[in-house]
Amino acid sequence: MSFKVLKPGLLTTLQDLGRQGFQHLGITEGGPMDEHAFRWANALLNNPVNACAIEVTYGGLELVASQPTMIAITGGDLGASLNGEPLLNWSTHAVKAGDKIVFRHPVSGLRSYLSVSDGFAVKPVLGSCSTVLRETLGGLNGDGAPIKAGDELRYSPRLPCETRTVPLSDIPNYREDLELGVIPGYQFELFSSLERRRFFGHQYEVTNNIDRMGYRLKGAKITAEQTGIISEGIALGAIQIPADGQPIILMRDRQTIGGYPKIGTLTALDVGQLSQRSPGATVRFCIRDISYAQAQRHVFDRHLKHLKLADINQ
């Protein structure tokens, strides 16, 4: 029982919540770029929180089902269709044997998530199925390769059940201007008050240089009192400031250590929102207290953990 991949798209990978506990060995965590969308894709199907799902970047994926099941699609609108009929995003759908699912191109956002009842059956590597191309870890065959034509993505068949949809209040608008909260980092004091005002007082533009490792921005140049530091561990969402003064935000497949000064760090949920922005989108930064960020995470986790499926719009 599987989806057969007819066309893999530009970059389609298998992801769970990531490879935890190995960064001290130089192994990055990987995981979904947009955790909010990934978590909802599994919650809609009442899957385990860490169930393996498909991350579709930019579209182009085409699949054919061999057995009936339920799927959920969340995240960016990549023009998904079932047998040529548009699929509602942020919703579950029944799939029959022989049905064809197609993701075309971005309408809103860059990354879409396709989950299946009980998750895709993939053997974990170091406790995770997350695909990290640079480290050749995870994915369908454990070698870090993205999904390719001819792959068979195995799942357990399920009978159709009622359609469930994410409440409108939990669906982000990826076209909105984005404000990102910054938790001050270890090198925050290396930036003068003038440089901080410049950073927080100007908007930045997402450049073409974006991938699962990092997002490069362009805008007001800022400088630190020293251009390099002793290499140290890098957290998800760290905002590095290299010599050219243009921020680099480290994403899921980032390197595990680095020597650029870091003005602060985004939360994982804000990283997810940034990952849905295309080149040319604008972002602004604000100071975010760590207690506020912790509360935001607690509310999000609790919301999904205690979600009653009967309360989801049907």
Compute how many other C-beta atoms are within 10 angstroms of the C-beta atom of residue 53: 28
Residue at which a domain ends, from 164, 187, 210: 164
- DSSP secondary-structure letter at 149? T
Average pLDDT over residues 42-63: 96
Q: Is residue 282 part of a domain?
A: yes
**Residue-level pLDDT at 310:** 45
Residue at which a domain ends, from 164, 193, 213: 164
CA distance between the termini of the chain: 27
- What's this model's pTM, rounded to 2 decimal places? 0.95
* Sequence-separated (6 or more) residues with CB below 8 Å from residue 250: 213, 214, 234, 235, 236, 237, 238, 239, 240, 258
What is the CATH classification number for the domain harbouring 244?
Answer: 2.40.100.10
For the beta sheet containing 100-102, the strands, ordered from the edge strand earlier in sequence to the opposite edge, are 85-86, 81-82, 100-102, 61-65, 2-8, 152-154
Q: 32 pLDDT exceeds 70? A: yes
CA–CA distance from 255 to each of 52, 214, 231 (Å)? 23, 9, 11
Strands (E), the chain: 2-8, 11-15, 53-57, 61-65, 69-77, 81-82, 85-86, 91-95, 100-102, 108-116, 152-154, 178-184, 204-210, 214-218, 232-233, 238-240, 248-250, 257-258, 262-265, 282-287
Q: Which of 208, 177, 201 is nearest to 283 (CA)?
A: 177
User: Which pLDDT tens digit goes with each residue over 267-307?
Assistant: 999 999 999 999 999 999 999 999 999 999 999 998 888 76
**Bridge partners (DSSP) listed for residue 100:** 64
Q: Is residue 264 part of a domain?
A: yes
Strands (E), 58-197: 61-65, 69-77, 81-82, 85-86, 91-95, 100-102, 108-116, 152-154, 178-184
User: Which pLDDT tens digit goes with each residue over 53-82?
Assistant: 999 999 999 999 999 999 999 999 999 999
* SS3 label, residue 60: coil
Q: Is residue 308 part of a domain?
A: no
Which secondary structure element, helix H or strand E, spans residue 294, and what is its range? helix 290-305
> Do 296 and 213 fall into the same domain?
yes
- Return the amino acid letter for 276: Q
Q: 14 pLDDT exceeds 50? A: yes
Q: What is the mean pLDDT of the chain?
A: 94
Residue 253, token pair as written in the block: 């497949």
Domain range for 87 is 2-164
Residue 222, token pair as written in the block: 């800022």
Dihedral over alpha carbons 118, 149, 109, 273 (to 10 degrees): 50
* Sequence-separated (6 or more) residues with CB below 8 Å from residue 194: none
> How many separate domains does the chain show?
2
Q: How far apart, in whole angstroms, are the C-alpha atoms of residue 135 and residue 204?
A: 30
Residue 38, token pair as written in the block: 């990934």
> Do 138 and 273 fall into the same domain?
no
Q: Is residue 289 part of a domain?
A: yes
User: Which pLDDT tens digit goes with each residue over 122-137?
Assistant: 999 999 999 999 999 9
CA–CA distance from 251 to each of 19, 63, 132, 148, 218 (Å)? 14, 28, 12, 23, 17
Q: How far apart, in whole angstroms, are the C-alpha atoms of residue 212 and residue 85?
A: 31
> Do 47 and 99 fall into the same domain?
yes
> Do 187 and 156 fall into the same domain?
no
Binned at pLDDT 50, 70 and 90, residue 313 comes out as low
Q: Which of 188, 189, 178, 180 is nearest to 264 (CA)?
A: 188
Residue at which a domain ends, from 164, 196, 216: 164
